[in-house]
Chain A
Amino acid sequence: MTKQQANWSPYDNNGGSCVAIAGADYCVIAADTRMSTGYNILTRDYSKICKLADKCVMASSGFQADVRALQKQLAARHLIYQHQHNKQMSCPAMAQLLSNTLYYKRFFPYYSFNVLGGLDNEGKGCVFTYDAVGSYEKVGYSSQGSGSTLIMPFLDNQLKSPSPLLLPAQDAVTPLVEAEAIDLVKTVFASASERDIYTVRRQTRTCYHKCSWYPPGIHGT
């Protein structure tokens, strides 16, 4: 007699794609606005981006209930940090916190594929990319979610980032200017939406700039 298996899963995949691109003095973070379950659309107007700190924003695809719980958890820890240190968390600090928070639930993970973006303490763009259990890396650009396999090769080709194989190691940020990066993000969502049913062309997009940082807003295309 074979063991009875559960046919109820605590997880669901709400689909969607996120992208972040870092430049010398800016960072662009974008995520599409569709939330789906199976072949159905739950809403056409959902923001997968969350502002964690002054200069740090997270875009997450995957299971949005887990994403929401994760955002709450990080917001609470950030508040405690602000009480204890009398300042906002920097982007690299938040990156480490996110990693630890994800690994804390290593054996019942947050089904959340995250991309963190913002400016570091020097005003340079930084992007961190994660898997569901907290493995993370500082990169020049990244995409996560259902459209990521469609998006990444095109970003590799267009962003002209320095090769990670060069010595001495060079910063991975793209030499492109902010307007070019934003254009690229729009193109990338247009292309991904053509071939991925879970991704739509419309995105929420946040741009951080060193000189005059824009408060995060919703920019449709």
Chain B
Amino acid sequence: MSIFEYNGSALVAMVGKNCFAIASDRRLGVQLQTIATDFQRISKIHDRLFLGLSGLATDAQTLYQRLVFRHKLYQLREERDMKPETFASLVSAILYEKRFGPYFCQPVIAGLGDEDKPFICTMDSIGAKELAKDFVVAGTASESLYGACESMFKENMEPEELFETVSQALLASVDRDCLSGWGGHVYVVTPTEVKERILKGRMD
């Protein structure tokens, strides 16, 4: 079994009209055994920037701690929050530092940039950025997520419709993957508010 499939994960971020959604499953496993059903894969960096980390959970936690540290330093020096594009470059650089002994994570970054323009990107475990205009996916359920998102995505969705689309795509995809599931965590972020919702799906 690949090291990326040790804990199991599903992550998706989608762009809407002046908003974005980022969603994950809630399972933490050790190969076949489920250890936790309330695992947080998505973390807030600041009010308009969220980071999801799929892959090996220990590396995800360490990477998150390092990134929060770096962002706090940035806030002290620059007296402002990091732009999503800048943060993505930071994550990419930190991952590439470990080029020959990498973190076994695939991050998904989603944020609102200048003029409330939504920004999403993902990268591989050594920092190769992939910017997308519509959606990005990561985790053991990534192939299923590609299929579901590609079929369900529409441009310029309002926050409520975006939430429905992301939720349906996530639940349909994790139901075909043994290593992810046990519900979902969805964040829908607009310039004015952040709505966090928990989905109940098939609990297996």
Contact = CB atoms under 8 A, between A and B. Distances in A.
Interface in A132-179: 147, 149-154, 156-157
A221 to B, nearest CB: 15
Interface stretch (A3-11, A65-73, A100-108, A184-192): A184-192
Contact of B143 (A150, A187, A188, A191): A150
B150 A191 contact: yes
A195 B145 CA distance: 11
B144 A152 contact: yes
Interface in B137-181: 143-148, 150-152, 168-169, 171-173, 175-176
B175 A154 contact: no
A157 to B, nearest CB: 4
B147 to A, nearest CB: 3
Given A156-B175, A157-B172, A150 B152 contact: no
Contacts, number: 48
Given A153-B173, A153-B175, A154-B172, A147 B148 contact: no
Contacts of A188: 151
Contacts of B151: 154, 187-188, 191
A153 B176 contact: yes
Contacts of A122: none
A194 B173 CA distance: 17
A188 B151 CA distance: 7
Contacts of A154: 147-148, 151-152, 172
B150 A153 contact: no
Contacts of B150: 150, 191-192, 194-195
Classify the interface of chain B: helix, strand, loop or mixed: helix
Classify the interface of chain A: helix, strand, loop or mixed: helix
A152 B146 contact: no
Nearest to A194: B150
B148 to A, nearest CB: 5
A188 B152 CA distance: 10
A151 B145 CA distance: 10
A156 B147 contact: no
Contacts of A150: 143-144, 146-148, 150
B12 to A, nearest CB: 12
A88 to B, nearest CB: 35
Interface in B64-120: none
Given A157-B168, A157-B172, A149 B143 contact: yes
Contact of A191 (B147, B172, B175): B147
Contact of A149 (B147, B152, B168, B175): B147
Contacts of B152: 154, 157
Nearest to B168: A157
B176 A149 contact: yes
Nearest to B176: A153
Contacts of B175: 153, 156
Nearest to A163: B202
A152 B169 CA distance: 12
A195 B149 CA distance: 10
Contacts of B147: 147, 149-154, 191-192, 195
A152 B176 contact: yes
Contacts of B146: 150, 195
Nearest to A146: B143
B143 A157 contact: no
5 contacts: A153-B148, A153-B173, A153-B175, A188-B151, A191-B147
Given A149-B144, A150-B147, 15 more contacts: A150-B148, A150-B150, A152-B147, A152-B176, A153-B145, A154-B147, A154-B148, A154-B151, A154-B152, A156-B172, A157-B148, A157-B152, A191-B150, A195-B147, A195-B150
